[in-house]
Every structure is written in C-alpha cells, then in structure tokens.
Structure 1
Amino acid sequence: MTARGTAPRLSIALVSEHASPLAVLGGVDAGGQNVHVARLAGALADRGHRVTVYTRRDAPDTPDQVGLRPGVTVRHIAAGPPGHLPKDELLPFIPEFGRLLTEDWALGPPDVVHSHFWMSGLAALQATRKLDLPLAHTYHALGTVKRRHQKDSDTSPAARIPSETEVGEGCDQVIATCRDEVTELVRMGIPSRKVSVVPCGVDATAFSPHGPVADRGPVRHLLLQLGRLVPRKGAALSISALPRLPDAHLVVAGGPPAAELDQDPEVRRLRALARAAGVTDRVRFTGGVPCEDVPPLLRAADVVLCPADYEPFGIVPLEAMACGTPVVATAVGGQLDTVVDTVSGRLVPPRDPGALARAVGELLADPEHRAACGAAGRRRVLARYGWDTVAAATETVYRGLLAHRPTVPEAV
C-alpha cells in the first residue's frame, strides 16, 4: 500500500516521553505537546503511514500497547516507577528509556524517528545512534529561553541546556515550530541549514466561527485570556490594561478547577492586582475549562488576549483565529508568525499595559475592522495551520532525511 501516489508508506516512531497522546482523550492533563503529538500522529496516519508513539508508563495498570485510532498505536515504555512524575524529575530514567527503545527497534526498526522535547531527544538519540536510524527532533520549548525569562524560578534540571545542544547536534534535522526558534537554535550553535520550520496545527473543524457561543452576560465588550495560570502568560498585564478600557470585562479561563481557585497562589496574586487597579468587578476567573467549552468561549469574546512574556509557539492565537475572533498578542516567539499585525489582530511589545490597552481599544472601537481581522485570521488558519498541511510538511522533512539513505521498503 502506498500513500499519496507512488511514495512508499512509512513506519514512523514518535517519541514523547512525558506527554502521552492518550491524555488528550480525558482532557484533564492534556497540554500543548500531548495535543500536538496526538494530532500529528493522526494526520500522518491519514496520509497512509503507520505511526507508533512511545511514551513512559505512568500507571501500573497501563497496558503495553493501546490503539489510539486506525494507523496509530501508543507503546508504553517501563522506564522508572509506574506512576506520575513531574517531567523535571524524569531525567534519571531517560537512559533506561533509550535502552528499551533500542531493544524494541532492533526487532523491527521504524523508517524514521521523530522525538518531542529534549529528554525524548536524548533517549531517541541513544537508540538511533546504535541502530543507525534517521532522527528528527522538535523541542517544543528551549531551556535557554526559559532560563532567560524565569531565571532562578526555572525548575529544569541543570543538564537541560547542554543536553538540548547535544540533541540538536546529534539528530539529523530539527523541526522548529517558528522562525524565532531558529534564531535561538543558531545562538546555541545549531546551523540553520539543519533546521526546518513546520508550525503547530489547529483543528479548524472543532475551532470554527460556527457553533455554540458561551453566555457573555450583560457586558458591552468581552475580553478573554485563556491558558495556564502561570506568571509568564501575562494575565497580570491584561488586568493592568483594564483601567484604560472602561467598557470592557475580562474573563481569565484556565488554572485549577473552579472550586480550588481561592487556594491558588497565582489567582490570589491576580485578584490582588485587580483590587489595586479598581477593576475587581470587571474580572472573572473561571478556573479550568473542559476542552469542549473552549470554542464557545472563543466565539463569545470580542478580542482574545495573548500577552505572554515569552511563548515558544502559542496555540491559543491559532484557536482564536480559527474561531474568527481577533487576537491581541505580544510580539514574541511563535506569535510573531501566527498573528499578522493589523490584519488578523495586533502585535504589541511585551510587558507594556499601555500598548496592550491601546491596541485592544482600537479594535473595540471599530467593529468592522474587528470583523475583518476575525475573517482574515480564519483564512490564515485554513491556508497554513490545518493538521493536514502540518503533516504534509512534516512528511517532507522525513523524506528528505531518507533521500540520502538506501531505498525504504514499503511497510506491510
């Protein structure tokens, strides 16, 4: 069987040591990497390939193998204790993970390996070197950037940055998610010729202008900030901008369950900022939002705010654009690629509440331009960021790696 014409079908191994694609099914523990790996695996399978995702066994009753969907299998690797561990505590078990990958692939090697996150890269590099298999790597986030912004609050292992360099030098190709990441990689000593840019994707069917709309309540203008409640995401900046936007209300969606908001340190900090700014009555925290409730929230908003201090890629702008809602985002990381200033929204400097308020105020004051930005964002997502497009670009990278090797036999 062949995929897309005469090109042979590939056997693809995706390595995602801490972010299982199965977490997407429950939604509770799903993060950006979980979703990315699950959607990429599915889109590659739709192109006719056979995909196996390797992730760490994090529960004692987890089966060795689970079918995620037709063409995609998840294999659980018994590296370390069979229970949940924070990813920053997984490094001691990565050599064992790599050894077990080597044993598995020695029995039936994949045509190409694609690792996700730096520890997956270390394990995959260990196995592919021994077996002479082609390796592509996606970082998802870089330790150098995290250390620069978080400084002493960075909890990553000390070995992260040198290990990321080792993976970049040892793999055959880095698949970066945005142009800003290429710049960071070159600073690390990874030559740009070794880096391809393939963005993250978005499900443009689930995230669409058409569908249920969340209840806005009796507010004139509704602003939405969606995502994890950590300082770098910039919710404090959104609250600081609110006094300059007297007709706007802000919904902050994300974080712990609603019943636990009062105990959350970041929520307490943000509520104190809102009190000091005199906008407590115009800020609402929802807590964590089920996956199915996210598109209705995005459709309900007049503007979605993405004011992060830094953002390796940033999926929320794409989700908002797919729903036809304009975005005001800081000009950092992947947002420099996804949001086109004055076309699909606005880009503003980070940590500048005045600039954020001005950009939002201009959109709120011009409904026609706001609608045009929303429509342009939707068109941009359909043209560039659908998972079928992302999978096709990723496959192109894989085939480039295989072009200088012996002919790949068709998978059976």
Structure 2
Amino acid sequence: MRIAMVSEHASPLAPLGGPDAGGQNVYVARLTEELARRGHEVTVHTRRDSPDLPDRVPLTDGAVVEHVPAGPPEPLPKDELFPHMPVFATHLARAWARQRPDAVHAHYWMSGMAAQVGARAHGIPVVQTFHALGTVKRRHQGLRDTSPYERVGVERHIGRTCGQVLATCTDEVYELADLGVPSWQVTVVPCGVDADRFHPGAGTARALPRTRRHRLLAVGRLVPRKGFDLAIRALPRIPDTELLIAGGPEHALLETDPEAERLLGLADRAGVGDRVHLLGAVDPADMPGLMRSADLVLCTPTYEPFGMVPLEAMACAVPVIATDVGGHRDTVADRLTGRLVPPRDPAAIASAARELLGTKQLRHRYGTAGRDRVLARYSWQRVADGAEQVYRRVTEGHRLPSEVA
C-alpha cells in the first residue's frame, strides 16, 4: 500500500525536546518505520523549516521525508503556521497528482485541513489523528491558548468528514463526541513504545550519582502544562529524595529559559533547591538508563492528550505516578502499574510517592506489571496493526468523486 503521512510541524527528523517537538514526532517516525518495514511505500510530508534541507530525505526500509515549501524556510511556532496551510495543501495536491497514494494519514488539525484539500480532487481517503484537540487546550489554558481562532471549527469539520479518526485514547473519543463526531467514525489506536530500547536491563545513566536516598524523575518539554511545578511542590513532603527534570534546551541554555527559571525559583522558595536538578535536553540514547536510575517516574501534567513518558517508564519496569487525565487513564493501571492522582494536587503526589518509596517490594511488583502491560498492548507493532486495519477499511469503502451520485 502507498501511504502518505502529513505532519506539518512535527518532522520525524527533528530532535526532541523543543517547544513543538515531542510525542507527535516520535509517533510519526516510529509508525512510518514499522509500516515501511512491512513493505508499505510511505512518504512523510512535513514543512521545510530550513533552507538547507534537501527536498527528500530517505528513511529506513524505503520510507521518505519530503520537505514542503510553505511559508518562510525557518522555524516557526506551530500556532503561526495556519496562514501557510493553503500553500501546503496546493503542494500536496500537485504531488499526489503525480503519484496518488492509496491512503493519507494526517497528524494534527492543520495537517488534516491541508490533507483534505490536497486529497479531494484525487479521491484519496484521509485518516486523521489529532494528537491534541483545541477544545481541551482552550478549556485548560483559557486566555493563554495561542491557537488560531478557527481551530475548533476546523477540527469539528475534519472529524465529521474524514474517512476515519484514529484516536489515541478513550478520553479522546468522548471529546470528539462533544464535537459532534459519531462513535462509528472513530477507532482507538494508542501510541506505542520501543520495548527493545526501553527495557529493565538498560544501564543506569552515567555521571549522575544520587544526592539523596531516593530519586524521582520527570521528563518532558519545559512548558507549564507539563506540571513540573506540581512535582516540585510535592517534594518538601517526600524526605531524603531528589527530583530530576529532563527536557527543554541544552543544559548550557537553561539559564535563559523562562520556564527553567520559574521552576528553579519555585524550588528555592519551597526549600528544596538543593534537591531539584534540571538536566536540560538528554540524549535519547541515555534516556532508558536515566529512567532505570529512578525509583519512580512522575508524570504530572494538568492535561495530557496521550503521554508517552508513562509507557517508556513502564517498559523499563519503573513504577509511575501520573495525574488522572487524558491518555494516562488508559495506560497507567492504578494500583497495578503505578498510581493515578488528581491533577493539580501536590499533596496527593507526595502521599503516593511516600507509599511507593516505603516498600521496594511494591515498586518491584508495579514495575513488573508495567512491563507486562506494555508488551501486551503498546508495542509499535500493535500500533501498526491497528493503523493498517483502518487504512484498509477506508480504502475499501472509499468512493472516487466520479462514483458519488
């Protein structure tokens, strides 16, 4: 099958940890890799954000990344890309006129908008993964939401008119229903994790000796919604424990990062400045070992469309304390692989951490169950299985424009 991936701001080639580089990049990269390994012909269309990028970059097993000229060839925040989507769509239409894909898989709402316009004239079915919904972001961020005004209306239209919405968690199905997207239009296929790379035998991180008896680890982009401040507020109630926060810019640039400055100031005011360590960007090769070096991994965002960090921790057999939001409700089995705690509740985080840190046997049991859960449900092979089924269903059931009465 010939498959076109459209991911306007999240390139599979981008280094992780930047403001707009995270789980979506990993999802697109790993799903593309697995589909190509199965013999599918996959092209990823993403925006050119540098004049030095070649038009096409080969990936493993024959997949290709195509850089689309849409807007200035420089990095732009994703919320500023909306005006450039018509040009993106025109490029897709021309590319697909030369070589028509059997199915298009669009990632994020702007990709879906461009993909539907580009595919319409050629009768190509479009599968949509939103990765995050504007209604959820607006609910939690309010006036701080920088998304274009048109976002929610566009998402509603895409959800109702695409071939199928591929949701990443059960919570998203309910959110889509509130947008008027019927349940038969939605299939849940979660994100995955590389359980061969994230595994219990990963060597512990080099040059990171403990400063306290216990170690907590939090991982993610340095943005307020990730809830690192909640973990810091919980720390005074967790004795003899350090907190490592991995993510954001390179360590040398942390002193100029506003969120890093806010978190360090909060730690000082809470009296735990000597127990909070911001690592900055961590080499992906070192991340499994860093996770294995922790007693617990904290995932405390105020909202999270899916969240890959819990899966990575569980694959390493490390228990997770996660806020009871979004995709965490699917991935973290409360009191089996970790603990789900109310969002915005540092006291609940501290209580769960003290309970788990108090008994190594309980941590071992949760860790083993987490690894088993990942292997059973969250491999990229399982994700590709689900995506393939959706592609075949929309392709077999799709009618070309000339066939519509």
TM range (shorter): over 0.9
In 2, the alpha carbon distance for the partners of 1:399 and 1:79 equals 30
Deviations 1:170-203 (A, max 9, x none): 2110000000011111111111110000001111
Cα RMSD, aligned residues only: 1.6
Q: Is 2:343 the counterpart of 1:338?
A: no
> What is aligned with 2:64?
73
Pairwise CA distance, 1:354: 1.1
Q: Contact 1:328/1:347 (CA < 8 Å) preserved in 2?
A: yes
Of residues 318-327 and 47-56 in structure 1, the stretch that sits farther from structure 2 once superposed is 47-56
> What is aligned with 1:169?
160
In 2, the alpha carbon distance for the partners of 1:189 and 1:90 equals 26
- Give the AA of the match of 2:237: R
- Give the AA of the match of 2:252: A
Quick one: which of 221, 226, 229 aligns to 1:233? 226
Structure 1 unpaired stretches of 5+ = 1-9, 408-412
- Give the AA of the match of 1:283: V
> What is aligned with 2:385?
392
Quick one: which of 348, 352, 355 aligns to 1:359? 352
> What is aligned with 2:403?
none
Identity %: 57
Q: Contact 1:252/1:286 (CA < 8 Å) preserved in 2?
A: yes
Deviations 1:264-299 (A, max 9, x none): 222222222222222122111112212112111100
Provide TM-score, normalisation by structure 1.
Answer: 0.93
Quick one: which of 228, 236, 239 aligns to 1:246? 239
> What is aligned with 2:2?
11
In 1, the alpha carbon distance for the partners of 2:399 and 2:112 equals 24
Q: Secondary structure at the match of 1:23?
A: coil
Structure 2 unpaired stretches of 5+ = 401-405
After TM superposition, the structure 1 = structure 2 runs for residues 166-205 of structure 1, keeping only pairs within 5 Å, are: 166-205=157-196
Q: Displaced runs of 4+ in structure 1, greater than 4 A? A: 26-30
In 2, the alpha carbon distance for the partners of 1:129 and 1:286 equals 46
User: How many residue pairs align between the two structures?
Assistant: 397
After TM superposition, the structure 1 = structure 2 runs for residues 72-151 of structure 1, keeping only pairs within 5 Å, are: 72-151=63-142
Q: Contact 2:4/2:45 (CA < 8 Å) preserved in 1?
A: yes
Q: Contact 1:243/1:279 (CA < 8 Å) preserved in 2?
A: yes
Pairwise CA distance, 1:405: 4.1
In 2, the alpha carbon distance for the partners of 1:368 and 1:203 equals 26
Of residues 74-83 and 394-403 in structure 1, the stretch that sits farther from structure 2 once superposed is 74-83
Deviations 1:189-246 (A, max 9, x none): 1111100000011111111111210234242110111111111111111111111111
Q: Secondary structure at the match of 1:36?
A: helix
In 1, the alpha carbon distance for the partners of 2:335 and 2:394 equals 38
Q: Secondary structure at the match of 1:376?
A: helix
In 1, the alpha carbon distance for the partners of 2:365 and 2:96 equals 51
Q: Is 2:212 the counterpart of 1:219?
A: yes
